[in-house]
Amino acid sequence: MTVPDVTVVIAVYNTMPYLTACLDSLVRQTIGHARMEVVAVDDGSTDGGGELLDTYAARHPGLFQVVHQANSGGPAAPTNRGLALARGRYVLFLGADDWLGDEALARMVGSADDWGSDVLIPKQVGVNGRLVPQGIFDTTAASVGFEDSALAWALADTKLFRLDLVRRHNLARKEELKVYSDQPFTLAACLRARRISVLADYDHYFLVLREDRGNVTQRAGALDRIRGVAAVQWVAAELAAPGAQLDAIRARHFGWEVPQLLQEGLLALDTGLRDQVCEGVGELVRQFGAREVYHRLAVPDRVRLELAATGRYAELRELIAHEAEHGAPPEVSETGADGVRRRYAAYPVFRDGAAGLPDELFLLGEERAEAPVDPEAGGRGGLPPTLVQQLWRGAVPAQVRRRLRGYPAWRRLADAVAADGRNGGRR
């Protein structure tokens, strides 16, 4: 039997009517049906999707192989089953609510053969508001790495993989993961690949945000997300080279997925679940070296992560609620004895002795001033809080704070009192 050039694996569960566009896009592929196969695993669909797969298989003999199974509770198990049946030299994973450009498979296989790619990342486009990071698609490249590209932001399995690589290293999804099960798989493949390539000159892969927000990632719970991130970080800890490669992977997750768990939605959870989320985030920070990449994260993210890591859940909740009500905190700037002017985000916990968080967490930026200042006027060490801090800590009545937030000169006021940080809050 002839070995196809590429196998497309689709895990299907209740994706109608999007499934029709997905299957039609495969039928139209210019690579030709003789060079491809589609393995579709129906994971217990109840919306007619399983019957639609059978219709396409009957209509296009030899192109579709359809497997029906009881619902497994997530995409990992049907994807693994489809992968086990794959025969192509390459394998592509396609979401059942997504679709391909007509020339996608021909372009991907041709480029992977020309370059000797083990993993090839085709240009992807979001549909219906689907967020697809575009940094990796700046240019077509025969070879990219974590250190010189946005590869860390492209860990979904929406790629072409050399099947021999997958088989040699026994790569498969962790079926216990309800979300992010593709990321540990993709990361392991990339870290073991001889060459990773990017094909950015054609819209290959269209990813859909369903109108019912029924995509798996959209429905995942916070604890499921924490377990998924942990699984990715275990792969990174085992396979990534210390330094720039490992730090790029850490910075991606601790600068994106994890901080999303510490936003306003946290406050709506019941007390027990809320504390579990904070504890889980704190464990991620401590266990996987997040502090080593704090300097690469936004100030709001690293402050939240550190509050979770040090078990200061009450302060974390207060900070989230305060920022939700008041917006971004004002800045405080001061010039140290070294002549460097530093700007800090004046959160309520900034230089709060009880919190004990280092100034570096709040640092927004620094530049050399024209001249150094008296080190005794640094505003450190138990001096009264600045006016800006008083506003944030509730020392000013609420009705006054509300008027200030709507006052056009509020930013000028914040700038004017920022110098209090150098005078210990005293005029």
Query: DSSP readout, 357-378?
Result: --GGGGEEEEEE-SS---GGGS
Question: Max CA-CA distance within the chain?
Answer: 86
The burial class, CB within 10 Å (0-12 / 13-18 / 19+), for 406 is exposed
Domain for residue 1, yes or no? no
- How far is the first Cα of the chain from the last one, in angstroms, to the nearest whole number? 86
Domain for residue 322, yes or no? yes
Domain for residue 95, yes or no? yes
- Write the DSSP symbol of residue 265: G
Q: Which domain covers residue 121, as residue numbers?
A: 6-219
pLDDT at residue number 214: 59
Give me the chain's average pLDDT, please. Answer: 88
Residue 236 sits in the same domain as residue 321: yes
Inform me whether the pLDDT recorded for 321 exceeds 90.
Answer: yes
Domain for residue 123, yes or no? yes
Domain for residue 373, yes or no? yes
Strand-pair partners of 40? 10, 66
Name the pairing type of β-strands 196-199 and 205-208.
Answer: unpaired
The dihedral sign for the CA sequence 263, 269, 272, 273: negative
CA distance 315 to 312: 6
Residue 189 sits in the same domain as residue 235: no
Residue 26 sits in the same domain as residue 132: yes
Helix H, strand E, coil C: the string for 197-238 is: EEECCCCCEEEECCCCCCCHHHHCCHHHHHHHHHHHHHHHHH
Express each pLDDT in 225-275 by its tens digit: 999 999 999 999 999 999 999 999 999 999 999 999 999 999 999 999 999
Residue 175 sits in the same domain as residue 248: no
CA distance 343 to 341: 7
Express each pLDDT in 96-140 by its tens digit: 999 999 999 999 999 999 999 999 999 999 999 898 888 999 999
Asked if 222 and 277 touch (Cβ cutoff 8 Å), the reply is: yes
CA distance 294 to 397: 34
Phi, psi dihedrals of residue 191, rounded to the nearest 5°: -75, -20
Buried b (16+ CB within 10 A) or exposed e, 179-202: bbbbbbbbbbbbbebebbbbbbeb
Asked if 340 and 369 touch (Cβ cutoff 8 Å), the reply is: yes
What radius of gyration do the chain's Cα atoms show? 26
Residue 215 sits in the same domain as residue 287: no
Express each pLDDT in 189-213 by its tens digit: 999 999 999 999 999 999 999 877 5
Residue 90, SS3 per DSSP: strand
Asked if 233 and 191 touch (Cβ cutoff 8 Å), the reply is: no
Residue 72 sits in the same domain as residue 105: yes
- Kind plus residue range of the DSSP H or E element containing 402: helix 398-405
Residue 74, SS3 per DSSP: coil
Express each pLDDT in 19-52 by its tens digit: 999 999 999 999 999 999 999 999 999 999 999 9
pLDDT at residue number 354: 85
Asked if 391 and 401 touch (Cβ cutoff 8 Å), the reply is: yes
Residue 127 sits in the same domain as residue 276: no
Express each pLDDT in 65-96 by its tens digit: 999 999 999 999 999 999 999 999 999 999 99
CATH, residue 72: 3.90.550.10
Inform me whether the pLDDT recorded for 56 exceeds 50.
Answer: yes
pLDDT at residue number 355: 83
pLDDT at residue number 74: 92
Q: Which of 219, 247, 262 is the last residue of a domain?
A: 219
Domain for residue 398, yes or no? yes
Q: Which of 170, 191, 219 is the last residue of a domain?
A: 219
Distance of CA 225 to the CA centre of its chain: 11
Residue 299 sits in the same domain as residue 377: no
The number of folded domains in the chain is 3
Strand-pair partners of 366? 342
Tell me which residue has tokens 């138990």.
382
Residue 64's nearest CA partner among 75, 50, 46, 76 is 50
Q: Which of 202, 219, 236 is the last residue of a domain?
A: 219
Residue 142 sits in the same domain as residue 231: no
pLDDT at residue number 370: 62
| Both tokens assigned to 379 | 């505003």
Residue 314 sits in the same domain as residue 334: no
Domain for residue 293, yes or no? yes
pLDDT at residue number 426: 35
Q: What percent of the chain has pLDDT over 70?
A: 84
Question: Taking residues 214-229, what's their average pLDDT?
Answer: 78
Residue 348 sits in the same domain as residue 320: no
| Both tokens assigned to 36 | 């491809």
pLDDT at residue number 212: 73
Domain for residue 229, yes or no? yes
| Both tokens assigned to 339 | 């002549």
Residue 201 sits in the same domain as residue 235: no
pLDDT at residue number 1: 67
CA distance 74 to 2: 32
